[in-house]
Structure 1
């Protein structure tokens, strides 16, 4: 395994460990941060991006997201073979990260009777189910994410400051655009844990909602492509 592939694997595992970890803490019963709310979840995911990118950034470009890797492949900054390797690493990392969340919180999963809440600790879902608007939500959120990441390159920043900017960008997307679909904005972050939800043994586990699963995959990829198109007009 090359250094950059391992960096994408490790970084995505940490991203999902911390990101789904905060969701599990807020949603599952009998945790100390139960019912802490949306602000805590969005902040937790922003810090997850920050920490994961700092840890993996010396090994890989710290994309940690197939949509981001897709954008750089479309721009010609990475090869399509590299893109494929990154996506596999990101998916496997997300699956490991969410499995660690499950292991850590297993006693809380055992006493949770809320099937939708259990699924929410793995993957995203809509507040109101509407395929068209849910897809638009994921497209717009990822469009802002990728356009922001690409635009940060215009500025001469001290080393590491760009990662802080991306963390605040993710926080802003969660606060402003995340309330309708849960702002997956990352196919690996959603699909990898959804697969593990289907596999792992849990009491009161419901359906993995495969009917919705295409939206957090297709939407971010379309949003990334749109961002590259608009960025090319700058």
Structure 2
């Protein structure tokens, strides 16, 4: 099987089962309505493990642009393969979103909440704060990538490592999913979000692309920084890549903070003008 096709199928599987459990949990006429956080994260963890079992020996089962870019920056993956991997991953996410829509085709119009329908496909913060939301996605993906790389330094019994990775996904999702939905993966968010935008979902509301940049940029930066820190700690490799990434991280947080303050000031000014009018 072609590596790009493997990544497409892998992310499609991830979204079909992962967003499928979200649909079952959120759509009122579903038999698994209200399944809860634990069931949701068990499903995501098991899905990641199954994808690695099925496709890991073909493409490495990155199923995540952040992991693909991290490996390329670390020098363990060819840059020439990166664009194809990312396109396949995002397309797989969108296709998985379409499959979820079709699977629950009779249920969408029975639920009135447009936000609930959006969060079946894409992540959303519990409290909207760009600085805090970006930090959450950044640091959680940093931890995820660091643990994945750390597991790679150990010897597992044959077939055990995918299960360990699935447990890691369950741990991260259960611990931090309540903050931003823990996207951890640009393709997991952008692909299904695009499906949500284009599909004729009854009463769906906005696809909230104003927030979409955070689950794209933060996981990529968090994973890449994590990979370079791993190189420094485990391999003694400290070079310009690490310093550049740390510098970029600091600049990004400052820029988000300044932009957030400007936005708050603009909102205050608009409210003041409305009161005068």
Coarse TM-score class (shorter-chain normalised): over 0.9
Partner residue of 1:148? 147
Are 2:41 and 1:36 equivalent residues in the alignment? Answer: no
Cα deviation code 1:154-198 (max 9, x no counterpart) = 111123211111111111111112210000000000001111111
Cα deviation code 1:37-94 (max 9, x no counterpart) = 1111111111111112212123210000001111110111111121111111111111
Deviation at 1:29, TM superposition (A): 1.1
| Contact 1:98/1:196 (8 A) holds in 2 | yes
Partner residue of 1:105? 104
Give the secondary-structure state (helix, strand or coil) at the position aligned to 2:87. Answer: helix
Q: Which moved more, 1:201-210 or 1:52-61?
A: 52-61
Equivalences, count: 233
Give the secondary-structure state (helix, strand or coil) at the position aligned to 1:142. Answer: helix
Are 2:212 and 1:213 equivalent residues in the alignment? Answer: yes
| Structure number having the greater helix percentage | 2
Alignment of 1:74-113 (within 5 A): 74-113=73-112
Deviation at 1:20, TM superposition (A): 0.2
| Contact 1:6/1:59 (8 A) holds in 2 | no
TM-score of the aligned structures, taking structure 1 as reference length: 0.97
TM-score of the aligned structures, taking structure 2 as reference length: 0.82
Give the Cα separation in 1 of the matches to 2:43 and 2:216: 22
Give the Cα separation in 2 of the matches to 1:111 and 1:52: 32
Give the Cα separation in 2 of the matches to 1:230 and 1:97: 33
Give the Cα separation in 2 of the matches to 1:89 and 1:161: 27
Alignment of 1:128-139 (within 5 A): 128-139=127-138
Alignment of 1:218-233 (within 5 A): 218-233=217-232
Give the Cα separation in 1 of the matches to 2:176 and 2:170: 10
Give the Cα separation in 1 of the matches to 2:206 and 2:231: 41
Q: 1:142 to 1:28 in 2, by over 3 A?
A: same
Q: Which runs of 5+ in 2 are unaligned?
A: 234-277
Deviation at 1:110, TM superposition (A): 2.0
